[in-house]
Structure 1
Amino acid sequence: MPSFFAVRLQDGRLYGSLIDILHNGAPLALAALGMTLVIATRGIDLSVGTVVAISGAVACTWIASSPDPASPGTALTGIGLALALAAALGAWNGFLVARLGIQPIIATLVLMTAGRGLAQLVTDGQIITVNNGFFAGISGSALLAVPLTVVVAAAVYALVALVTRRTALGTLVEAVGINPEASRLAGVRSQSIVWTVYVFAALCAAVAGLMISSNVNAADANNAGLWLELDAILAVVIGGTSLAGGRYSIAGTLLGALTIQTLTTTIYSVGIPPEVSLVFKALVVILVFLAQAPKVRALMRRRRRRRDDAPPPAATAVPAETAGSGR
């Protein structure tokens, strides 16, 4: 529909379906970015949705309980506490995986289950509402007419792409994901790299949680970031990152996150119930994993090779009298 691509400028900010996709997809894009580097090291982080809930709960609870809940300084302190706690939780995941050698899916499952309970303890099981202009500006303000959430997400993506593709860090991450033991024997500090990517993933999830809480001026420890880790993993896989570790694509992850958000926005705009979107996402997951399955890829290669090796069709001989009849 033509209105889907319409973008208008109102009150110094851009509006439209495409802007909504970018704005609402920014938290998922950030969570998927952290997940990309974790998966590249042959890991997985099931706790990003929980970190989203914890960060929002900590920031909003601090603001609401402060003597001056409307002060920008109060909001900055709450944001700082949320980011610091997220970094500590990411360090905990990295410690379990890198130092203790626990399987990543098990190590992060611990925080996934216990962390949401921690968020509910912080909020006392209530939805914490805040009225702080600075905090609301995280999701409600704009820079050069572009929503601030989009600007922040774009800046983080650009910085990570620059660091991983213009320095040796990206190569080291891929090396750890391809063969951790060989990387260690080659002198790569694989444990430090694994530790770092889990901290980075938690920080990305914390920023996403602050965006989500700021968008509604409230913290819902029970529903904020629920199943976000599954969407993040799906975005990473759609983007072409290998679940076996090693090869990863930052641009592909961004495209995958925007694809998921576009699917969600389209489903809502045509009046399909929200719960049905899970069915569409499940179908996308099945198709993506089938495309990456070794047997399916081997079958496609055999068919392509058989088609390439097939002899060209024989040229049909033209009778002499027919050929000469046109003279």
Structure 2
Amino acid sequence: MSKEKTVEKQNKNFLSGLFRQQIFIPIAALIILAVFNLIADPSFFKITLGYNSAGDPVLSGYLMTILDYGSELAILAIGMTLVTAASGGQDISVGAAIAIAGSVILRVLCGTNSRPDTLQAPIIVAFLIACVVAMLFGAFNGVLVAYFKIQPMVATLILYTAGRSIAAWINNNELPIVSDPTFSYFGGFIPGIPIPTPFFIAAVCVLVIFLVLKFTTLGLYTQSVGINENSSKLNGLNPTFIKFLTFVILGLCVAVAALIKVSRLSSINYSVIAKDIEMDAILAVALGGNSLSGGKFNMAASILGAYVIQFLTTTLYKFDVQSDALPAYKAVVVILLVVLSTPKVREWLSAVGKKLKQSKTVKEVG
């Protein structure tokens, strides 16, 4: 075999292997969005160094917005990926759960006075209490799904419907405001560091989950339950507990996202906070090439998918798409991803690829 044919074969094998990689989907979507913005308006990629109201240096630009708001979505994508893989369904209550956890944080910090001059408790204490509350609500969803065998979307519909009312009730329908400037650091900038704090929080969460997946059997057990629950039970696993655990982990992710959300404004709007964020989290999982019916997952692809979703959202906003119309655009993306991920479509694409390869071989021989 000549050297040219050997190189050509290696290139074909490389491309073929690349297309089979699960992370190829979000990378391809990222490249398409980047090229589109580069052609439409190269200034999209401009980053400028300025100063905020406190006189601290901050980086601004569309890319920083993606990094900022995509980070909280990446945190949610971690928990949503595990829930999807284990249960074969999605939690649609994360937005309402964020409202509850955020309301708890503000309640602890403000106490009985909705406009306190000083914090009534340390921020870490408020955050830990919010973690416990969010994990309890996650456990509630987990019990309905794992023990009572209710479909995840139906089970989480309860909290989706009642969650924001619960959040308002926690603070007696008042809108508490935290005046302490240190609280705003979690959703803004740490003085002297021009990169948004949510990015660092997300980086810590990503590091933790990758260490957990690497040094524990959580990932293996989650995939086993999602692929075949009965077989995993015969192999000594407890599918019920594993499903329950994934919802609790998602609850913890919700608490972290809630801290970022309420820190941005040092207050809360119960009906607007994290509105429709559950759709973005689910779309991030789907864009990562993960099957929405459960089973094998790729956490890195889901996290990258979260930033791609924010890239898409920021692009749509840049071109003056109304916020009310955003879900429609994202719904189209969801439909395309779900259709492309179905076995029937994948078999058809594989068959088309084989036919093209055979016809090319015939022409080369002829």
TM-score normalised by structure 2 residue count:
0.80
**Larger deviation: 60-69 or 257-266?**
60-69
The one of 19, 39, 45 aligned to 2:91: 45
| 2:46 partner amino acid | A
Does the 8 A contact of 2:111 with 2:120 survive in 1?
no
Coordinate RMSD, CA, aligned = 2.2
- In structure 1, the partner of 2:315 is 266
Q: Describe the SS at the equivalent of 2:312.
A: helix
> Which letter does structure 1 place at the counterpart of 2:322?
P
Q: How much has 1:272 moved relative to structure 2?
A: 2.5
Q: How does 1:129-140 map to 2 (within 5 A)?
A: 129-140=177-188
When residues 314 and 259 of structure 1 are mapped into structure 2, their CA distance, relative to the original with a 3 A threshold, is closer
Deviations 1:73-113 (A, max 9, x none): 44333222211110111111122222222222222112211
User: Residue in 1 aligned with 2:300?
Assistant: 251
Deviation (angstroms), 1:27: 1.6
The 5 A counterparts of 1:129-208 are 129-142=177-190, 144-208=193-257
294-303 or 205-214, which moves further after superposition?
294-303
Q: What corresponds to 2:44 in structure 1?
A: 4
Deviations, residues 95-150 of structure 1 (Å, cap 9, x unaligned): 22222222222221122112222112123334333212232111123385432210
Equivalences for residues 235-314 of structure 1 within 5 A: 235-310=284-359, 312-313=362-363
C-alpha contact (below 8 Å) 1:7/1:14 kept by paired residues: yes
Structure 2: gaps spanning 5 or more residues: 1-40, 51-55
* Aligned partners of 1:139 and 1:215 also within 8 Å: yes
Q: 1:103 aligns to what?
A: 151
> Are 1:117 and 2:165 an aligned pair?
yes
Q: Which residue of 1 aligns with 2:68?
A: 23
The Cα shift of 1:63 comes to 2.4
Deviation by residue 1:205-227 (Cα, 9 ceiling, x = unmatched): 12112211111111111111222
Task: In structure 1, list runs of 5 or more residues that go unmatched.
Answer: 317-327
CA distance in 1, matches of 2:275, 2:120: 28
Deviation at residue 183 of structure 1 after TM alignment:
0.9
2:60 is paired with a residue of what secondary structure?
strand
Q: Is the 8 A contact 1:86 1:203 kept in 2?
A: yes
Rounded to whole Å, the distance in 2 between the matches of 1:167 and 1:147 is 31
Q: Over residues 160-198 of structure 1, what are the superposed CA-to-partner deviations in whole Å (9 max), with x where a residue is unaligned?
A: 122213432211111111111211121112222222110
The 3-state SS of whatever aligns with 1:241 is coil
- For 2:124, give the aligned amino acid: L
Which deviations, in whole Å up to 9, do the C-alpha atoms of 1:23-70 show, x marking residues without a partner?
111221111111000001023211111111101111123323356552
Q: Residues 279 and 43 from structure 1, CA distance in 2 versus in 1: closer, same or farther, beyond 3 angstroms?
A: closer
CA contact (8 A) 2:178 2:267 kept: yes
Check whether the contact 1:56–1:82 (CA below 8 A) recurs between aligned residues: yes
Is the CA contact 1:75–1:132 (under 8 Å) kept in the aligned structure 2? no
Partner of 1:87: 135
Instruction: State whether residues 48 and 61 of structure 2, in contact with CA within 8 Å, keep that contact through their aligned partners in structure 1.
Output: yes
SS in 2 for 1:284: helix
Single out whichever of 126-135 and 189-198 deviates more from structure 2.
Answer: 126-135
Deviations 1:10-29 (A, max 9, x none): 43443322111111112211
TM-score with structure 1 setting the length? 0.89
CA contact 1:128–1:220 (8 Å) conserved in 2: no
Give the equivalent residue in structure 1 for 2:123.
Answer: 75
